[in-house]
Amino acid sequence: MSTRTLIRGGLVVTAADEVHADVLIEDGRVVALAAHGSDVAAGWTADRTIDATDRYVLPGGVDAHTHMELPFGGTFASDTFETGTRAAAWGGTTTIVDFAVQSVGHSLREGLDAWYAKADGNCAIDYAFHMILSDVNEHTLKEMDRLVQEGITSFKLFMAYPGVFYSDDGRILRAMQRSADNGGLIMMHAENGIAIDVLVEQALARGETDPRYHGEVRKALLEAEATHRAIQLSRVAGAPLYVVHVSAEEAVAEIAAARDKGLPVFGETCPQYLFLSTDNLAEPDFEGAKYVCSTPLRPKEHQAALWRGLRTNDLQVVSTDHCPFCFVGQKDLGRGDFSKIPNGLPGVENRMDLLHQAVVDGHISRRRWIEIACATPARMFGLYPQKGTIAPGSDADIVIYDPHARQTISAATHHMNVDYSAYEGKTVTGQVETVLSRGEPVIDQRKFTGRAGHGAFTPRSTCQYLN
Ligand code: URP
Ligand code: ZN
Ligand code: ZN
Ligand code: ZN
């Protein structure tokens, strides 16, 4: 028995178009769009009709950078796949791409299988994986080829965190050469971690232990230097490069310069870099620990370059880097030593709303909002047009969005499993009303109607954003 859902009367916004159209869904997929009020649309019948008058009808968000249950600094990110994907759905995100972790001395297979096990049966929305490479060697390089075949088509490398995730330039080059052959996309955490560790040691020796020093030692120049080096290595390897969580103006300039040369270099930034700053890191009474992430928050002056990059397409994607740690019991680990504060911010629930606020504020257009939050992440990571748009054949991952509702972001009302909000008290215009995942309501008129286990692992093709 097929089930049909009809969404009537909304403004369908995709990266390409804004049209007043009715959307017909059958068996979890979009089958047709027709102009609202047309004879074709009027003739459609369905088991369920959603009235979207005065609402936007959006493709579900694709958050290409999350860390559910990430082990870090002796603890684990506080959202599980169950709590994190539920919160994502509340915020209008219907697909996450999380990072499976290879630990040093172990295979990619082991790390990936552990991630399948964590996610399996627990997710409210669809999910996919990137693979973090912590130990590039002959065996790992061969495994990369197999992972690409399995739908794990992107690999994150770290120029930061010596002794944990860090890879030296030789290992980075080898992984890039391999990805040039197998079609994988290298994602780079671009910070000079060796130099940063020297500055950390010196700061602590001076008694500079507060959270704000996290921002001071992780210098913008060291992000820019690593970004530049990663770009040159990728040129040598003949591989495309995606730089994650770009926060410094100088790093944006490196990416822009590479793109001006026509190189396949891409950049992602995150809401925390667009809306927060070192002012937050400097909050007294250890409150700054709530804002410790890497790359770090920057002085406000950097934000203009990030917004400009998003408008000019020097930056293509906004993901959250969602990696929550509770203030009490986790961020606490770094009282008296900022280098022991677990790195990461919560945000998977807030991304679509914050970026809509950016539309309201005039930073980006409505279609650009959908492009950077839905369509391009789907294309970049091989999920398009199954995800990231509303078109015949696409999964019916759809958000009914009220662009006029006002809401105040708060830990008291959010659904992420973390005891604070990085955006506490911020009022934004716009709110998710209903969310469909493959046609099934996960959020229905601001009630959670989804279930753990509805979300399915989604294998990905290689990058679709290269030409
Ligand atoms: O501070 C962050 N970003 N934590 C998550 C790990 C990473 O580097 O993305
Ligand atoms: Zn092992
Ligand atoms: Zn990173
Ligand atoms: Zn991350």
Mean pLDDT by 10 residues, the chain (467 residues): 92 98 98 98 97 98 98 96 99 99 97 98 99 97 98 98 97 98 98 98 98 98 98 98 98 98 98 98 98 98 98 98 98 98 98 99 98 98 98 98 98 98 98 98 98 98 90
pLDDT at residue 16, as a whole number: 97
Nearest CA to ligand 1 atom 5: 344
Distance 46 CA to ligand 4 centre (A): 42
* Model ipTM value: 0.95
pLDDT at residue 159, as a whole number: 98
pLDDT at residue 87, as a whole number: 99
Nearest CA to ligand 1 atom 7: 294
Q: How far is CA 64 from CA 94, 235, 280, 387, 423, in A?
A: 11, 24, 25, 12, 21
pLDDT at residue 2, as a whole number: 78
Those residues with Cβ within 8 angstroms of residue 345's Cβ, 6 or more apart along the chain or in another chain:
272, 290, 291, 293, 320, 321, 322, 323, 324, 422
The ligand 1 atom at the shortest distance from the C-alpha of residue 160 is: 8
Strand partners, 59: 398
Task: Tell me the per-residue pLDDT of 32-73, one tens digit each, with 9 for 90 and over.
Answer: 999 999 999 999 999 999 999 999 999 999 999 999 999 999
The reply to whether CATH 3.40.800.20 applies to domain 4-58+389-404+426-443 is no
Up-side HSE of residue 43: CA atoms within 13 Å toward CB? 6
pLDDT at residue 467, as a whole number: 57
**What is the CB < 6 Å shell around ligand 1?**
67, 189, 245, 293-294, 321, 323, 343-344
Enclosing H/E stretch for 92: none
Three-class DSSP category at 333: helix
Top mutation candidate among 245, 272, 281, 298 for ligand 1, by most atoms within 8 Å of CB = 245
Do 213 and 338 meet the contact criterion of CB atoms below 8 Å apart? yes
Those residues with Cβ within 8 angstroms of residue 329's Cβ, 6 or more apart along the chain or in another chain:
none
Task: Find the helix packing angle between 169-182 and 220-237, rounded to 10°.
Answer: 50
Rg over CA atoms, the chain = 21
Locate CATH 3.20.20.140 in the chain.
60-380
Beta strands at 11-13 and 18-26: parallel, antiparallel or unpaired: antiparallel
Top mutation candidate among 134, 167, 294 for ligand 1, by most atoms within 8 Å of CB = 294
**Dihedral sign, CA of 427, 419, 65, 83?**
negative
pTM over 0.95: yes
Nearest CA to ligand 1 atom 3: 294
> What is the second-level CATH architecture of the domain 60-380?
Alpha-Beta Barrel (3.20)
Those residues with Cβ within 8 angstroms of residue 338's Cβ, 6 or more apart along the chain or in another chain:
203, 208, 209, 210, 211, 212, 213, 214, 289, 292
Burial string for 189-226 (b: 16+ CB within 10 Å, else e) reads bbbbbebbbebbeebbeeeebbbbbbbebbbbebbbbb
Nearest CA to ligand 1 atom 2: 344
Locate CATH 2.30.40.10 in the chain.
4-58+389-404+426-443
